[in-house]
Structure formats: structure tokens, C-alpha cells
Amino acid sequence: MADIVLDNVSKQYPDGFEAVKDLSLEIADGEFVILVGPSGCGKSTALRMVAGLEDITGGELRIGGEVVNQKAPKDRDIAMVFQNYALYPHMTVGENMGFALKLAKVDQSEIDTKVHEAAKILDLDQHLDRKPANLSGGQRQRVAMGRAIVRNPAAFLMDEPLSNLDAKLRVQMRTEVSRIQKNLGTTTVYVTHDQTEAMTLGDRVAVMRAGVLQQVGSPMELYNTPRNLFVAGFIGSPAMNFMPATIEGDTIKLPMADVALPPGLRESVGRTGGSQLIAGIRPESFEDASLVDSGHMANGTRFNANIELVESMGAELYVHFKVTSDAELESDQLRELAEDSGAGEVPRSGEEGEIVARLNPESKATQGQELELWVDSTHVHLFEAASGDSLTST
């Protein structure tokens, strides 16, 4: 058990490419922290630096209060679960799990006890004598977990451990991973590009972009008060809707409607000195106007929209409609998001942008018809277009 501290850690490759820039992150003892970001954001590199598989070119890494920059992986007392499991194919499941203990010259009888304990936790006791080649994907994944658990290390490092499983198994193993981590209380750093995993698993989530840490916080903090456009667009599914916005007095002019500027925002908007703004509205901040109770109605604005597509998920209803924008907006952060996942595109001047709204399933929304929608103005996020910084969360 130990805490992990990354103190301005950076990684620069010999060709000059900086994969991780001044990453500072404190992971408390027993905490489950998720590193999340699109591919190439440096999250895996950061994890591999903690593991010792990648050299640290700047800053300091401390595990349990001890600087480990120069230590070999074997001396860091950490266990790692790899994306492709990296099971030793020539060893049985039991040998795979006991390999680390065997290297540490633990008694064979003690190894057996520990391997059996771990196998019981992971429901692998039937398979201890089989080779990895004869196991299913989910079983292999559990062996990889078992190899980490058996050692009782200071920390678990997991590099996209679930991304090779099919969707159903992934959800199942996600709960499993969470349960095991809670029971063992071992400090865990978990890398993923899947924001759902990030939201559901972690005590805290660290969002990275292009080697730079964007924001760290609990999943709800990131969801409710994203610090910039990138975090706002990355966290949440379906993604936040973005559109150009202008402020006139006490109202925010959006492509589809004017909404009241929440009182707390006036000051921060004033400070931007009239620079271009982007508004972000989450799908659930919309509602079918006919289903909004009168108590809430005053918090928002009603507008008419042409429904282009209705997706019914049973418990919720997603409707898509278009808005036309008249502002020319450029944002690096949104462009990157769009490249990664297709989400977060801002409608360019004269173009139409698509908005997704999440409605109550009782809504009578039908494809191709006009519907009166309501938008909750208290949940509108405002971002400065140039820097991407949020005006709402600070």
C-alpha cells in the first residue's frame, strides 16, 4: 500500500516529441484514479513511466514517499495488467499467477496458498492447470488480474485492461475490477480511452490531452463543472452540444433561442472583454416543453425545433435537430475531439450543426415534425473560444 506522486513528470523522446508535459498528480493510498483521454494523449506513457517501463526525462516520481525515477520495474513493488494481458503462454494459469512470487523466492507451499486464494476471488480455481491458449478472453483477463492480485503490491497499474473484451463482458468485468479494488484497497491507476469506464470506475478521473493534464476530479465534478471545452466534450455520452454564443446584456444569444444569463456568470463574462464564446449544453438539459412542470419552466427558455431523427432507448429518447450558426469559430480542442470521436463539432458560419437532446420517453416527438423544446438555462456552460477555458466552472 502506498501513495503515488507525480511531480512535474515529463517525457520527451529523443526525436523531441513531448509525450507527457509537466504532469503533476497525487494519488492517495488506496485511491482508484483513472487516466483518460483520446489515443495519443500520453496517458499510457504516463502509466508506463510509473511502472518503470519508460524512462522519466523530467520531474520526480515518488511511490510511498520514495523517489523511484531510477529504479527498475522489479524494485518498484507494482503490478501491471496489460491491454493484451501478456500472459506467459508456456506456463499454466497457476504458474502465471505465481511467477512473481517464484521470482521473489517465496516458498512453493506459500505460493500455492496465495495462488489458490486469488483464484478463488477470480473464480479461476477450475482452470489453474490450463494453459492461457485454452482460455476464453474473459478468463485470460481474469488471469492477468490474478497475476497482479497474488503479489499484494503497493499499487496496481492497468493499461486499458478491458478494451479487448466484447461489450457485454466488459461491463461485467468493470464491476468485477471495481469490486476487487474496493475489497483489496490497493492504490490503482487505470488507463482508458473509454469515458464510460472512467466515469463508473474511478474515485477520481484525470483527463489528459496532448500530454497535458486538463482536469482532475471526481466523475461528477468533471461532468458538472468541466474546466474547458475538451473535458466538457470528452466526458459524457452522448457528448455535450456545442454552439456559438454571444452575450447581449443579460441574455445569451444561442442559434436556436435566447436564454437568460445566469447571475453568477455576469462577472466572468465581463472579464473576457467581448471575445468569442462557445456555449455547451448537455443533452439532458433539454426537455420536451409540454412535459416540463411549471415550477421549472421559468428556469429556461422554450423554442421550436424541427426534429430530424428520434432514437428511442426505452428509458430515454434522443432527438436530433439542426441549428444554423452565423459565427465563425475555431477551437483546437474541439477539432481534436472531433477527430477522435466525431463529437464536439461546432457549426461553422452558415453551416448547420446538429444538436442532440435527451427527452423524457413520454414525449410525442416524431421524426420530421416540429416540436417545442425547453432548455434549462441554469445548466448552460460557457467557454471562451480561443482558449477553450470555461467561464462557468471557475
Partner 1 sequence: MSGSSNTGPDRVKWSIAIAVVLLYALIPVAWMISLSLKPADKLSDKAFYSGIDFANYEAIFKNDDFIKALINSLGIAAISTLISIVVAAMAAYALARLDFAGKAVILSGALAVAMFPPISIVGSLFDIWRSVGLFDTWAGLIIPYLTFTLPLAIYTMSAFFREIPWELEQAAQVDGATPFQAFRKVIVPLAAPGVFTTAILVFIFAWNDFLFANTLTSTNNARTVPAALAFFTGNSSQFEQPIGAVSAAAVVVTVPIVIMVLIFQRRIVAGLTAGAVKG
Q: Does 342 bind partner 1 (CB under 8 A)?
A: no
Residue pair 64/154 in contact (Cβ under 8 Å)? The answer is: yes
The label of the residue with cell 456568470 reads 265
Minimum CB separation of residue 177 from partner 1 in Å reads 17
3-state helix/strand/coil string of 218-239 = CHHHHHHCCCEHHHHHHCCCCC
Q: Which position among 90, 179, 271, 335 is part of the footprint of partner 1 (CB under 8 A)? A: 90
Candidate ranges 1-9, 22-30, 135-143, 347-355; the one touching partner 1 (CB under 8 A): 135-143
Q: Does 99 bind partner 1 (CB under 8 A)?
A: yes
Q: Does 131 bind partner 1 (CB under 8 A)?
A: yes
C-beta of 157 vs 245, nearer to partner 1? 157
Residue pair 180/158 in contact (Cβ under 8 Å)? The answer is: no
Minimum CB separation of residue 80 from partner 1 in Å reads 4
Q: Does 84 bind partner 1 (CB under 8 A)?
A: yes
Minimum CB separation of residue 141 from partner 1 in Å reads 9
Alpha-carbon distances, residue 377 vs 86, 89, 370 (angstroms): 50, 57, 21
Q: Does 87 bind partner 1 (CB under 8 A)?
A: yes
Minimum CB separation of residue 72 from partner 1 in Å reads 7
The label of the residue with cell 469490486 reads 179
Residue pair 248/254 in contact (Cβ under 8 Å)? The answer is: no
C-beta of 138 vs 283, nearer to partner 1? 138
Q: Quote the DSSP letter at residue 381.
A: E
Cα-only R_g, the chain: 24
The span from the CA of 277 to the CA of 237, in Å, is 23
Candidate ranges 86-94, 255-263, 306-314, 365-373; the one touching partner 1 (CB under 8 A): 86-94
Candidate ranges 49-57, 192-200, 249-257, 281-289; the one touching partner 1 (CB under 8 A): 49-57
Residue pair 308/368 in contact (Cβ under 8 Å)? The answer is: yes
Minimum CB separation of residue 52 from partner 1 in Å reads 8
Contacts (CB under 8 A) with partner 1, residues 52-81: 52-53, 72-74, 78-80
The answer to whether the Cα torsion of 101, 106, 112, 118 is positive or negative is negative
Minimum CB separation of residue 385 from partner 1 in Å reads 42
Q: Which position among 11, 43, 151, 174 is part of the footprint of partner 1 (CB under 8 A)? A: 151
The span from the CA of 393 to the CA of 331, in Å, is 19
C-beta of 53 vs 212, nearer to partner 1? 53
Binding mask 155-194 for partner 1 (x = CB under 8 A): --x------x------------------------------
Q: Does 134 bind partner 1 (CB under 8 A)?
A: yes
Q: Which position among 133, 167, 313, 315 is part of the footprint of partner 1 (CB under 8 A)? A: 133
Name the residue among 63, 43, 42, 45 with its Cα closest to residue 54: 45
Q: Does 315 bind partner 1 (CB under 8 A)?
A: no
Phi, psi of 352 (to 5 degrees): -100, 140
Minimum CB separation of residue 132 from partner 1 in Å reads 4
The label of the residue with cell 416540463 reads 292
Burial 366-379 (b: 16+ CB within 10 A, else e): eeeeebebbbbbeb
C-beta of 61 vs 247, nearer to partner 1? 61
The answer to whether the Cα torsion of 350, 354, 359, 361 is positive or negative is positive
Minimum CB separation of residue 119 from partner 1 in Å reads 17
Count of beta carbons in the 10 Å neighbourhood of residue 364: 11
The span from the CA of 157 to the CA of 33, in Å, is 10
Q: Which position among 67, 104, 291, 309 is part of the footprint of partner 1 (CB under 8 A)? A: 104
Name the residue among 205, 179, 182, 204 with its Cα closest to residue 193: 205
In DSSP terms, 9 is beta-bridged to: 23
Q: Which position among 12, 58, 92, 100 is part of the footprint of partner 1 (CB under 8 A)? A: 100
Q: Which residues bind partner 1 (CB under 8 A)?
A: 51-53, 72-74, 78-80, 82-90, 99-100, 103-104, 131-135, 137, 140, 147, 151, 157, 164
